[in-house]
Amino acid sequence: MKPPVEFALCIAKPMKGYYRRNLPHIEKFHAAYFVTFKTFGIFLPPTARTIALRHCLFENGRKIELHAAVIMPNHVHLLFTALEGAEGEPFSLTEIMKGIKGVSARRINQLLRRRGSLWQDESFDRIMRAKEFQFKRNYIMANPIAAGLCERPEEYQWLWLQQAQAGVPVPHGA
């Protein structure tokens, strides 16, 4: 018996271009991605947000070049470019997100003395096209202000921005 097409598409392999779970996920070499993932209705206390940010930063320089990140009480926004692994192919979105969400969920669950899923299974991801990169970076910076958590971006301790903008990638699809 042949597995359904949807099952075959969700098997994680390095940079295959396209896969689908509940949402479609498109991967592209050397592309910048805007990724959002949410909690299962749990509001993260400050210590839990710190853990989530640390795990995002841990992957910076390993599997991703992180351009911006914000950890909100119930969701996370990331702007990054996948780095290449030993085989010369960029790390897959599946591998990147598993590394960030999996380990941070375990540590946060330990902190909160709870069990079960912390993050929703799916993440929303979008490949940045020309002119979208700076818009999404600004969106990430403005998110805590819009939520009433601070008045200026630099006041929000769970916001991280890449300092050296000389390395900003040229988005595909100009």
φ/ψ bin of 70: left (φ > 0), alpha (ψ from -120 to 50), beta (otherwise): beta
Kindly report the average pLDDT of the chain as a whole number: 83
Task: Identify any residues that bridge with 138 across adjacent strands, giving them in sequence order.
Answer: none
Instruction: Read off the pLDDT of residues 126-154 as tens digits, 9 standing for 90 and up.
Output: 999 878 999 999 999 999 999 999 999 99
**Per-residue pLDDT at 120:** 94
- pTM for the structure as a whole: 0.80
The mean pLDDT of 67-74, rounded to a whole number, is: 98
**Per-residue pLDDT at 136:** 96
Of 75, 92, 82, 93, residue with least CA distance to 37: 75
Q: What percent of the chain has pLDDT over 90?
A: 63
Rounded alpha-carbon distances, angstroms, from residue 91 to 29, 88, 144, 173: 10, 9, 29, 20
Count CA atoms within 13 Å of residue 18 on its CB side: 3
**Per-residue pLDDT at 97:** 93
Q: What percent of the chain has pLDDT over 70?
A: 77
Please determine, for residue 15, whether its predicted confidence score (pLDDT) is greater than 80.
no
Please determine, for residue 91, whether its predicted confidence score (pLDDT) is greater than 50.
yes
Q: Could you tell me the domains of the chain?
A: 30-167 (3.30.70.1290)
Paired sense of beta strands 18-20 and 32-38, if any: unpaired
Instruction: Read off the pLDDT of residues 94-107 as tens digits, 9 standing for 90 and up.
Output: 899 999 999 999 99
